[in-house]
Amino acid sequence: KQEVTQIPAALSVPEGENLVLNCSFTDSAIYNLQWFRQDPGKGLTSLLLIQSSQREQTSGRLNASLDKSSGRSTLYIAASQPGDSATYLCAVRSSWVDSNYQLIWGAGTKLIIKP
Amino acid sequence: KAGVTQTPRYLIKTRGQQVTLSCSPISGHRSVSWYQQTPGQGLQFLFEYFSETQRNKGNFPGRFSGRQFSNSRSEMNVSTLELGDSALYLCASSADRSEFFGPGTRLTVL
């Protein structure tokens, strides 16, 4: 059974720092992995999607990596800004057909960027 | 392209009532999933519909049901509301197994 873990649960850093959020999963048979951002009381915004055959994806100041063999993904945020404050969620889509490719979610990392 | 829309955005009900939430997916997306999000349990998968058929179902009681119409719009219904049903209900549409979420419906049960 796939399990997704995100550490740390919360992180507070000064503005301008580069930071890394971690996501680990127990079953390497994944179809893809997606990083989302959620602002308080709002829906989820997709940040980056990495297919199982890819090693990384980049969008602006964000870079996500994927290492299936070790069951890990990282989200790197460069030059953090107060507007980056949000909860970041990692979700893994299983590649097992009998799972119907359901998304399995981590509990999220709450990020606070201090001005 | 318009994003995923959900109506209503906010809803207040009392215990025992029923509620229907609506979701319109991104044009061309045939898959719609529903999630419940609470501070204590996080994001929990309710069900997924594809081409009007329920393709996947989470571990929720039968009071939670859904359907999808021929235009891919989806509704979810919760009957006999309980206090614990207070949550943010999120709808997501997907294509090529990439999810796009709506803003959610905040349901408060009094």
**Residue A37: its pLDDT value, please?**
96
Tens digits of per-residue pLDDT, B92-105?
998 877 889 999 99
Spell out the per-residue pLDDT of chain B, length 110, in tens.
Answer: 679 999 999 999 999 999 999 999 999 999 999 999 998 888 889 999 999 999 888 889 999 999 999 999 999 999 999 999 999 999 999 887 788 999 999 999 99
Q: Is the peptide bond before A8 cis (omega within 30 degrees of 0)?
A: yes
Structure tokens given for A61: 């100041």
Contacts of B83 (CB under 8 A, 6+ apart): B15, B109, B110
C-beta neighbour count of A28 within 10 angstroms: 14
Tens digits of per-residue pLDDT, A26-59?
999 898 999 999 998 888 999 999 999 999 999 9
| Torsion, CA B10, CA B79, CA B46, CA B87, rounded to 10 | 30
Contact B43 A42 (CB under 8 A): no
Rg, C-alpha atoms of chain B: 13
- Report chain B residues whose CB lies below 8 A from the CB of A89: 43
Q: Phi then psi for A36, rounded to 5 degrees?
A: -125, 160
Amino acid at B81: L
Contact A44 B103 (CB under 8 A): no
**Residue A111: its pLDDT value, please?**
97
Residue A31 belongs to what H/E stretch? strand A30-38
DSSP B84: G
Residue A97 belongs to what H/E stretch? none
Structure tokens given for B69: 């119409």
- Report chain B residues whose CB lies below 8 A from the CB of A102: 45, 48, 56
Amino acid at B51: S
Which of B43, B88, B98 minimises the CB distance to A34? B98
Residue A101 has pLDDT above 80, yes or no: no
Grade residue A99 by pLDDT with cuts at 50, 70 and 90: low
Mean pLDDT of chain B: 93
